[in-house]
Structures are given as C-alpha cells and as structure tokens.
Amino acid sequence: MALKLTVNGEVRCLDPEPMPPTLEAVIAALGHNPQLVVAEHNGVIAPRGGWASTTVGEGDSLEIVTIVGGGS
C-alpha cells in the first residue's frame, strides 16, 4: 500500500515497510543516511531517538535536511 506524503514540499508516494511506517522507515525508504539528516514531522522537529516509535500517516508532511560538513 503506497503512502502519500509531502517531503520537502514535493508530494511523494512510498511503499515503506513496516506498516504502519515509522519515521525511521520512511527516512530509509527515501534513501537518506539517518546519521546525516535532521527531520521535521508535521511542523515539529523530530528527535532522532523517537524516530523508531513515530508513526507517519497518509498526508503527513516531512522536511528532511542533510547535514553537510566542511570548512577550511
């Protein structure tokens, strides 16, 4: 069953496992390295420690920001 979400302003359909999907599963299904992203779920920054227990539902909104290192 496909799940319709808005990810970074773009509507996406995913088939994450398990169902119901967790934020952790959705981030993995989107191909992100969980150690290198910060996630906002429905307008609230989601603490990494709660991703495995946060359920993502139809029509939810996610903002996923990749952490990039660098400098001189």
Which amino acid does the sequence have at 45?
Answer: I
Asked whether residue 72 is domain-assigned, the answer is no
Q: Is the pLDDT of residue 62 over 80?
A: yes
pLDDT computed for residue 20 by the predictor? 82
Q: Do residues 51 and 28 lie in contact, with contact meaning Cβ atoms separated by under 8 Å? A: no
pTM: 0.86
Residue 42 pLDDT > 90, yes or no?
A: yes
In which domain, by residue range, is 23 found? 3-66
- Any bridge partners for residue 65, and if so which? 38
| pLDDT reading at 69 higher than 90 | no
In a domain, 62, yes or no: yes
pLDDT at 17: 74
Rounded to whole angstroms, how far apart are CA atoms 21 and 36? 20
Q: Residue 68: pLDDT band by 50, 70, 90 thresholds?
A: confident
The gap from C-alpha 22 to its chain's centroid, in whole angstroms, comes to 8
For the chain, the domain total comes to: 1
Give the CA dihedral 10, 35, 19, 14, nearest 10 degrees: 30
Let me know if residue 21 belongs to a domain: yes
The answer to whether position 57 is within a domain reads: yes
Q: What is the CATH number of the domain that holds 51?
A: 3.10.20.30
